[in-house]
């Protein structure tokens, strides 16, 4: 069964698109959808075995994918990797800055090393990838699209303050890059996922599934989101249909940030999730959950 995309076949035929963090979670899902739509996807991550697995999946499904093992936090490695990717795969049409990571801790328990590690992963790495593609490829070709993955951190992000600060920084970087690079034909936008079920849940411990399910009562749509629903927003922003959208953010959060605490949500069934990803894998902490 192929990817259940809503976009037309061949939408990105002949285009090279880089997806950082492409070895798992939302990056894996997005890479699959882009490859199904004709793109040659370059998967970037730190774990070769994960990248090889996703590459094999995409090739088995009839798509094209290369891999690049890279720590996006190291400037000289990013510079060299972007040069190599352009030489190997040709001009790069799009970049999805999806790579990220964090751990749960109160602010008082986060060391300087822990803080800087998360900020470098969730902010600095995306900046370095964007800057190098602009310098080495997109400015000269007069075209390119960058989509930065941020987060639902509009109010605050308790127990993940390091990630909240980095994601807020990435939103501002998105707006600034859109202004500075727009005259060269480059669009820069962001997608901010809310409470999305993803394989990354398994890194937070066995009780994380119960914690996330408990958040459904604060979600106007009465459910959590899925990876394919984030990927669809990313693909739209990469597509020609978004040619006049830059410096903007698409929230994929079911309106949760709009909920006022003095408004009790009425009972209701919510809506059905978009089941586009044919290779979706539920995290182990959700093994016994209702996948409404």
Three-state SS at 65: strand
Could you give the CA distance from residue 61 to residue 1 in angstroms, rounded to a whole number? 9
Largest distance between two CA atoms of the chain: 56
Model confidence over 123-145: pLDDT tens digits? 999 999 999 999 999 999 999 99
For residue 261, name the pLDDT band (cuts at 50, 70, 90): confident
* 8-state DSSP, 247: S
pLDDT of residue 103: 87
Buried b (16+ CB within 10 A) or exposed e, 159-187: ebbbbbbbbbbbbebbbebbeebeeeebb
Question: In the Cβ-directed half-sphere of 145, how many Cα atoms lie within 13 Å?
Answer: 25
Torsion over CA: 163, 145, 47, 124 (sign): negative
Asked if residue 289 has pLDDT above 70, the reply is no
Measured CA to CA in angstroms, residue 55 lies from 15, 20, 41, 48, 215 at distances of 17, 13, 9, 10, 34
Asked if residue 248 has pLDDT above 70, the reply is yes
Residues 178 and 241: beta-carbon distance below 8 Å: no
Asked if residue 290 has pLDDT above 60, the reply is no
Could you give the CA distance from residue 18 to residue 44 in angstroms, rounded to a whole number? 7
Domains in the chain, CATH or no CATH each: 16-256 (3.40.50.720)
Could you give the CA distance from residue 130 to residue 65 in angstroms, rounded to a whole number? 20
18 strand-pairing partners: 42, 95
Which residues 6+ apart lie within 8 Å of 203 measured at CB?
none
Asked if residue 292 has pLDDT above 70, the reply is no
Pick from 247, 131, 235, 250: which is nearest to 189 by CA? Answer: 247
* 8-state DSSP, 261: T
pLDDT of residue 288: 56
- Quick count: other Cβ atoms within 10 Å of Cβ 38? 16
Model confidence over 33-88: pLDDT tens digits? 999 999 999 999 999 999 999 999 999 999 999 999 999 999 999 999 999 999 99
């Amino acid at each position: 069964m192929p990817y259940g995309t809503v976009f037309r076949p061949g939408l990105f035929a002949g285009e090279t698109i880089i997806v950082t963090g492409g070895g798992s979670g939302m990056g894996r899902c997005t890479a699959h959808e882009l490859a199904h739509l004709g793109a040659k996807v370059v998967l970037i991550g730190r774990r070769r075995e994960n990248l090889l697995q996703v590459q094999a999946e995409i090739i088995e499904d009839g798509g094209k994918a290369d891999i690049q093992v890279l720590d996006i936090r190291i400037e000289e490695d990013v510079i060299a990797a972007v040069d190599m990717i352009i030489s190997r795969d040709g001009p790069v049409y799009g970049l999805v800055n999806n790579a990220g990571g964090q751990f749960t801790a109160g602010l008082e328990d986060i060391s300087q090393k822990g803080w800087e590690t998360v900020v470098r992963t969730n902010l600095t790495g995306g900046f370095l990838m964007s800057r190098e593609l602009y310098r080495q490829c997109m400015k000269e070709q007069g075209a390119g699209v960058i989509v930065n993955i941020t987060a639902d951190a509009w109010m605050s992000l308790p127990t993940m303050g390091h990630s909240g600060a980095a994601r807020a920084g990435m939103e501002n970087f998105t707006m600034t890059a859109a202004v500075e690079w727009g005259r060269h034909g480059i669009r820069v936008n962001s997608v901010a996922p809310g409470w999305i079920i993803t394989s990354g849940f398994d890194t937070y411990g066995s009780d994380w599934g119960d914690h996330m399910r408990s958040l459904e009562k604060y979600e106007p749509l009465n459910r959590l989101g899925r990876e394919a629903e984030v990927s669809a927003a990313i693909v739209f922003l990469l597509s020609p249909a978004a040619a006049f959208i830059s410096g903007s953010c698409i929230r994929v959060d079911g309106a949760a940030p709009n909920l006022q605490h003095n408004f009790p949500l009425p009972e209701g069934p919510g809506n059905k999730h978009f089941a586009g990803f044919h290779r979706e894998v539920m995290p182990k902490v959700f093994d016994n959950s209702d996948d409404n």
